[in-house]
Amino acid sequence: KMDQIRQSERSQMDSILTADQKSRLETAKQNRQDRRQVFESLNLTNEQKTKIDAVRSASRQQMDAILTAEQRQQMQQRRPGGPGGFGGPGGAQPPQ
C-alpha cells in the first residue's frame, strides 16, 4: 500500500514539474544529491509549490491512515525539516 501511495505521489509530481525540472531531479537522484536542496534550486512557481504541498499533504494523510503510531513517529523523524516536513514547524520555508 505504501508503495502505491509513493508511486501516486511521484506521478502527480511529474505532472506538476516541467521537463527540465524533472530532468534535474532525476540527475540529482542518480548522483545521490540531497533532493531537498535540488528542489529548492528548481525555481518552482507559486502555483507549483502550492500543488506540490497539496500532493505531499495528501500522501502523508494516506500513509498516516495505514501506519501505527510508532511507524508514524519513525516516518516523522526521517522527513526533512522534522515533523512538519517542507516548511512545517522547524522546517525551512520553501523558496520564494
Positive or negative torsion for Cα 75, 81, 85, 88? positive
Which residue has cell 515533523?
A: 83
**Start-to-end C-alpha separation, the chain:** 34
Cα–Cα distances (Å) from 92 to 37, 60, 66, 85, 96, in that order, read 11, 18, 27, 9, 12
**pLDDT tens-digit map of 8-50:** 998 999 999 999 999 988 888 888 888 778 888 888 999 999 9
**pLDDT tens-digit map of 42-72:** 889 999 999 999 999 999 899 888 888 888 8
State how far the Cα of 43 lies from the Cα of 39, in Å rounded to an integer: 8
pTM metric for this prediction: 0.66
Cα–Cα distances (Å) from 30 to 9, 23, 35, 88, in that order, read 19, 11, 11, 27
